[in-house]
């Protein structure tokens, strides 16, 4: 979760207290240049990390622009906080430049995952991040692995639904001292999907792509 900058005088809370009021986007924003209503943007500055997404207004189901950041099973579960989606959104980036005082535009270091925000979306400063053990929402991923054969052919392994089995971890592998390679360690559980061809429940699709002029 994103730790949003708290409002002045807000009480401390494990995952962040009541957040400062969000700035508002205007039309013409892109994924890297956020146009702001200057009447709401005071306090945002170069170097800040910001979360950009819609308000929570009792939506249910998957929330968060672009990649879904959480699942809300029933209205009111997030406590009615208008900032809830920005607490969990993956649309987070660092500000590298501002235009105007107060800012009328933020230039971001990297594009927002969800693309250009809609006019009226909220922009809030992120002061840090917090991870929780447990919870009822499990982020799902998909994966495509490719292996090339000796004759230029390819084998593809497509897993449409994966759930992480452990937190992300890295280990260092020595190539030739002092050079090291960062190795990412991950474990996933494959979940079934319905094959539209015949309704079968499947975990993985394996595809073979022959090289040009190869015998099949």
Average pLDDT, integer, range 58-85? 84
Residue 73 to residue 58: CA distance in whole angstroms: 11
Going by pLDDT thresholds of 50, 70 and 90, the confidence category of residue 125 is very high
Q: Is the pLDDT of residue 160 over 70?
A: yes
- For the cut 90, the answer to whether the pLDDT of residue 144 exceeds it is yes
**pLDDT for 76:** 75
Q: What is the pTM of this model?
A: 0.68
- Mean pLDDT for 78-83 is 81
pLDDT exceeds 70 at position 11: yes
CA nearest neighbour of 22 among 121, 108, 124: 124
Report the pLDDT averaged over residues 87-107. 96
* pLDDT score for 151: 85
pLDDT at 185: 82
C-alpha angle 38/40/44, rounded to 5°? 80
CA dihedral 39, 59, 94, 35 (to 10 degrees): -40
How does the average pLDDT of the chain come out, rounded?
Answer: 89
The pLDDT-based confidence of 215 (bands split at 50, 70, 90) is: low
Q: Give tens-digit pLDDT for 179-195.
A: 888 888 888 999 999 99
Residue 169: pLDDT above 90?
no
Can you tell me the mean pLDDT for 164-182? 83
What is the band of 71 on the pLDDT scale with cuts at 50, 70, 90?
confident
Query: What is d(CA 52, CA 68) in angstroms, rounded to the nearest whole number?
Result: 14
CA atoms of 75 and 84, how far apart (whole Å):
12
28-44 pLDDT, tens digit each: 999 999 999 999 999 99
69/77: higher pLDDT: 69
Start-to-end Cα distance in the chain? 50
What is the reported pLDDT for 195?
93
Output the CA angle 55-58-59, nearest 5 degrees: 80
Domain ranges in the chain are 1-134, 140-209
Predicted confidence at residue 96, as pLDDT, reads: 97
pLDDT at 178: 87
């Amino acid at each position: 979760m994103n730790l949003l900058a708290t409002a002045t005088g807000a009480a401390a809370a494990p995952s962040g207290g009541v957040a400062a009021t969000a700035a508002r986007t205007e039309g013409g924003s892109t994924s890297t240049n956020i146009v702001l209503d200057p009447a709401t943007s005071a306090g945002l500055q170069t170097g800040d990390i910001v979360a950009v997404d819609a308000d929570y207004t009792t939506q249910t189901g998957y929330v968060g622009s672009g990649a879904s950041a959480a699942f809300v099973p029933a209205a009111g579960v997030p406590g009615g906080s208008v900032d809830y989606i920005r607490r969990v959104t993956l649309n987070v980036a660092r500000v590298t430049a501002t235009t105007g005082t107060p800012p009328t535009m933020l230039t971001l270091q990297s594009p927002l995952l969800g693309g250009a925000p809609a006019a009226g979306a909220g922009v809030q400063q992120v002061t840090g991040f917090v991870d929780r053990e447990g919870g009822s929402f499990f982020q799902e991923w998909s994966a495509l692995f490719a292996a090339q054969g000796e004759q230029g052919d390819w084998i593809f392994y497509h897993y449409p639904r994966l759930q992480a089995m452990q937190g992300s971890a890295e280990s260092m592998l020595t190539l030739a001292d002092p050079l090291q390679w960062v190795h990412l360690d991950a474990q996933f559980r494959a979940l079934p999907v319905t094959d539209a061809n015949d309704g079968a429940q499947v975990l993985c699709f394996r595809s073979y792509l022959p090289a040009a002029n190869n015998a099949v």
